Amino acid sequence: MIFSPVFSAPAHEANSALSFGDDAYTRVRRDILSCRLPPGAFVTEPELMTRYGIRKNSVRIALVRLAHEGFVKSRPRKGYQIAPITLRDVEEVFTLRVQLEPLAARLAVGRVDIVQLRELEAACRVQHPVMQLNDQIDAFMDANSAFHLAISAACGNERLHRTLASLLDEMSRLVALGFGVQKTKPEIKHDHNALIAAFEDKDGKRAELIARRHIETFQAMTMEKLYASLAETGAAIPISGPGSWR
């Protein structure tokens, strides 16, 4: 019996393909979170290849990862659908944040790096006048997420931290949709600094209270912008996602 040799791609070629796939994933994911790829929109592999200047293999690697995270779903004969934003999504994101972030803040007392928090808080207030508004919103959300994730990372509960990281990604889409259409950038008042002061005083109860108040305030502001955007564009957020989405 004669055996034919089996050839495999060199390791460097496989690693290169994965690297390009990682880059494609990062870029497409970024545009989903910023709503540059609008919620509910349909895209195809050729469209993404053209838009990002990438190869089919890289697109497929990116789409597999994004589908696993729930940001896209394959639709037969249509390509892929970007995850829609539903009223249920909005409600669930804020319901979880208002429960979990105050807990993370309380657990982070005595653990969190105060100097790092001050630097991250300052980054939230940096003005970027030369940027387009959508890029300014992105920069703010990156800095704001980094501030909140520094707290959850210090809480000592890795599952809690991962859950909050996922929620903040979803939060980015809500903010981009609401504030982007209204052409205004989100603002934070004094809650970050008040939270830092509570950490300095090692006051877990106060840190928990401030974190909850901060999220409730941001929820009201975000919902106002979302509904104003919907009224302006004539669009509608469905109450729940399409029956076949999940």
Taking Cα atoms as reference points, which of 190, 222, 199, 6 lies closest to residue 104? 199
The kind and range of the H/E element at 73 are strand 72-75
> Nearest 5°: CA angle at 101, between 114 and 99?
155
**pLDDT (tens digit, 0 to 9) for every residue of the chain, 246 residues total?**
444 444 444 544 445 555 878 999 999 999 999 989 998 999 999 999 999 999 999 999 999 999 999 999 999 999 999 998 877 888 899 999 999 999 999 999 999 999 999 999 999 988 888 888 888 888 888 999 999 999 999 999 999 999 999 999 998 888 888 887 667 777 777 899 999 999 999 999 999 999 999 999 988 888 888 777 666 655 555 555 544 455
Give the other-Cβ count within 10 Å of 114's Cβ.
Answer: 11
49: left (phi over 0), alpha (psi -120 to 50) or beta: alpha
